[in-house]
């Protein structure tokens, strides 16, 4: 159980008492109970979710969120759970598949095919089932409120949010039209109409393109893809699908007119001139799609119109609409790139520039990989992947406005640390005006044994370990804890233990000189902190008494006499 202090590594000597926040299983629990608990664990918030660290910065916050979720029905799914992450992965793949093949099948599928003998149709049927399951799951997955940074887990509010956004599109797009297509596959006249109608209705799912890209970006962020790369991939995906959909529609519209209106085409239509007529039996779907793709690409981007000459009025309408879509697409992509490079995303790009400069600096100084990773971890925590010149911003403000901004930054600290609730507003303002923010990485030493008492630190986020001089790990302390108050009740002016950060810790520090100044201004501070320090000292004394009894019992079990360290006589 002993743990030696190391500046680079800490091995926890305490037994883990709570890992998932769920109640422990009773001895002899059934297999069903174990399976149920394992399933509930997958529904709870997980630190492995890519977005979890941006909203819940410490293990204590994750544990608190787990306990909050346990107050809701067991079927409630946290948006930062493993199940939610698996759902996003599966649905992004299914939606991308659907966005590509639904218009493709609708436009270029000519013959009635058996769903169970054709691979793509069978896969489409499987995707249909997953989309229907997703509609059900969306009623039970919590929603993150961006304004309040709080996860909504109440079922009624989740359902209300979903019903007012994507429910209609998901529900209509998940209707089982595949069964109707199977029923009418042997009827030559009705099958094309049923096929086109079903895929047309399914195209309402295209509104989910933004959700699919967001899920894709969230999953790929685990691989360290930079922000700019994410944005360019997003633009490339959107451009690809717009061109693909236009390629399908320029061929689908004549097909719809033929089957629904019974309009007879003459030889001047562009599909006849390019030998991809609907009536032609010699043209296969890949050839028709490649020609339609070329025509759509030329009209969307306006680069070449060779081989695509419109003589019919309907041809003019179709390709004019295609050119209008291309105009809006090019304008959107151009504006988006301009925003990324110049304006809206300057903070993200500056952060990546800062990160790139540090990597170059690290290579020049031949830094070790571990040290580089620690610095990158610190930068990511401090800036949240958005760089800003804090000093330049603050220098443009008045002193009073600076103080108000700092008080606003310390709002979370005042809300979380209970001792501040015992002070008046003026006292809290007096203390906060002397605070300094600090961030400690995992395994950083906060205080060292024998170091003079120079400050008091309040933990906002994070967990620390107390290491005694003999190397034993005494306890863990988490959010809201105050470090360094024992100087008020002890005559010693040096720390009695070493404190090590077990995860990224955000703290607020006040120097003893500033604290003594605040005490002179307001004696209420001394009385409250002194009472807390006495309570803390009594807890420590009780801990050592309990520890001593445990050591005596342990050595007696080993057959030793503590006073002389002799083995007892055995018969």
Query: With 0-12 CB in 10 A as exposed, 13-18 as middle and 19+ as buried, what is 569?
Result: exposed
| Best CA proximity match to 138, nearest among 206, 77, 204 | 77
| Best CA proximity match to 53, nearest among 41, 61, 42 | 61
How far apart, in whole angstroms, are the C-alpha atoms of residue 295 and residue 56? 50
How far apart, in whole angstroms, are the C-alpha atoms of residue 323 and residue 493? 78
Over residues 33-71, the pLDDT tens digits come to: 888 888 888 999 988 888 887 788 778 788 888 888 888
Over residues 474-490, the pLDDT tens digits come to: 788 887 788 888 888 77
**Most confident segment among 107-111, 261-265, 296-300, 488-492:** 296-300
Q: How confident is the model at residue 243 (pLDDT cuts 50, 70, 90)?
A: very high
Q: Which two tokens stand for residue 549?
A: 């009894």
Pick the more confident residue, 519 or 258. Answer: 519
Calculate what percentage of the chain has a pLDDT beyond 90: 12
Residues 6 or more apart whose Cβ sits within 8 Å of residue 266: 272, 312
CB atoms within 10 A of CB 565: 8
Pick the more confident residue, 339 or 98. Answer: 98
How far apart, in whole angstroms, are the C-alpha atoms of residue 151 and residue 62? 12
- DSSP readout, 462-479? --EEEE-TTSBEEEEE-T
Over residues 127-140, the pLDDT tens digits come to: 888 888 999 999 99
Over residues 322-354, the pLDDT tens digits come to: 999 999 999 999 988 887 766 555 565 566 666
Taking a C-beta distance cutoff of 8 angstroms, is the pair 336, 237 a contact?
A: no
Over residues 154-175, the pLDDT tens digits come to: 999 999 999 998 898 888 877 7
How far apart, in whole angstroms, are the C-alpha atoms of residue 386 and residue 379? 10
- The residue-averaged pLDDT of 101-114 equals 70
72 conformational bin, left if phi > 0, alpha if psi -120 to 50, beta if neither? beta
Q: How confident is the model at residue 315 (pLDDT cuts 50, 70, 90)?
A: confident
Domains of the chain, residue spans: 78-225, 346-388, 397-557
Residue 409 has pLDDT above 90, yes or no: no
Domain spanning 397-557: CATH superfamily: Jelly Rolls (2.60.120.10)
| Best CA proximity match to 496, nearest among 437, 544, 438, 550 | 544
Residue 399 has pLDDT above 60, yes or no: yes
Query: With 0-12 CB in 10 A as exposed, 13-18 as middle and 19+ as buried, what is 423?
Result: middle
Taking a C-beta distance cutoff of 8 angstroms, is the pair 374, 406 a contact?
A: no
The pLDDT score that the predictor gives to residue 304 is 65
């Amino acid at each position: 159980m002993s743990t030696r202090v190391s500046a680079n590594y800490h091995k926890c000597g305490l037994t883990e008492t709570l890992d998932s926040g769920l109640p422990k299983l009773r001895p002899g629990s059934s297999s069903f109970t174990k399976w149920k608990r394992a399933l509930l664990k997958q529904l709870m918030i997980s630190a492995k979710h890519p977005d979890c660290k941006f909203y819940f910065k410490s293990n204590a916050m994750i544990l608190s969120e787990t306990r909050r979720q346990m107050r809701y029905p067991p079927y409630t799914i946290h948006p930062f759970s493993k199940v939610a992450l698996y759902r996003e992965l599966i649905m992004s793949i299914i939606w991308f598949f659907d966005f590509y093949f639904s218009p493709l099948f609708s436009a270029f599928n000519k013959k009635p095919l058996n769903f169970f003998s054709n691979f793509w149709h069978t896969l489409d049927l499987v995707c249909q089932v997953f989309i229907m399951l997703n509609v059900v799951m969306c009623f039970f997955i919590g929603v993150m409120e961006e304004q309040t940074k709080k996860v909504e887990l109440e079922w009624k509010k989740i359902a209300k949010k979903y019903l007012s956004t994507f429910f209609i599109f998901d529900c209509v797009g998940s209707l089982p039209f595949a069964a109707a297509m199977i029923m009418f596959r042997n009827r030559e006249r009705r099958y094309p109409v049923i096929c086109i109608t079903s895929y047309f209705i399914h195209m309402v799912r295209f509104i989910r393109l933004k959700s699919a890209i967001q899920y894709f970006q969230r999953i790929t962020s685990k691989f360290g893809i930079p922000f700019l790369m994410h944005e360019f991939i997003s633009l490339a995906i959107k451009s690809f699908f717009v061109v693909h959909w236009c390629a399908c529609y320029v061929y689908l519209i004549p097909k719809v007119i033929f089957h629904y209106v019974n309009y007879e085409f003459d030889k001047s239509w562009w599909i006849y001139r390019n030998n991809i007529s609907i009536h032609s039996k010699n043209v296969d779907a890949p050839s028709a799609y490649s020609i339609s793709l070329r025509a759509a690409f030329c009209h969307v981007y306006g680069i070449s119109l060779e081989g695509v000459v419109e003589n019919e009025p309907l041809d003019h309408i179709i390709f004019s609409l295609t050119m209008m879509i291309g105009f809006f697409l090019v304008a959107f992509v151009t504006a988006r790139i301009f925003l990324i490079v110049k304006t809206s995303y300057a903070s993200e790009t500056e952060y990546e520039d800062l990160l790139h400069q540090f990597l170059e600096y690290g290579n020049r100084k031949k830094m070790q990989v571990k040290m580089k990773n620690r610095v990158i971890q610190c930068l990511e925590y401090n800036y949240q992947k958005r760089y800003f010149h804090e000093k330049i911003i603050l220098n443009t403000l008045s002193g009073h406005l600076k103080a108000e901004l700092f008080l606003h930054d310390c709002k979370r600290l005042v809300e979380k640390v209970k001792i501040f609730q015992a002070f008046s507003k003026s006292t809290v303002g007096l203390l906060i005006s002397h605070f300094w923010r600090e961030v400690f990485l995992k395994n950083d030493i906060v205080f060292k044994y024998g170091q003079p008492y120079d400050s008091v630190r309040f933990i906002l986020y994070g967990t620390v370990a107390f290491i005694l001089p003999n190397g034993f790990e005494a306890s863990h302390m988490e959010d809201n804890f105050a470090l360094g108050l024992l100087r008020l009740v002890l005559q010693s002016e040096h720390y009695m233990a070493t404190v090590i950060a077990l995860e990224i810790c955000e703290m607020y520090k006040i120097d003893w000189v500033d604290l003594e100044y605040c005490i002179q201004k307001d004696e209420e501070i001394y009385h409250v902190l002194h009472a807390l320090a006495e309570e803390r000292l009594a807890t420590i004394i009780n801990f050592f008494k309990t520890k001593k009894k445990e050591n005596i019992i342990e050595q007696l079990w080993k057959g030793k006499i503590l006073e002389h360290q002799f083995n007892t006589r055995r018969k």
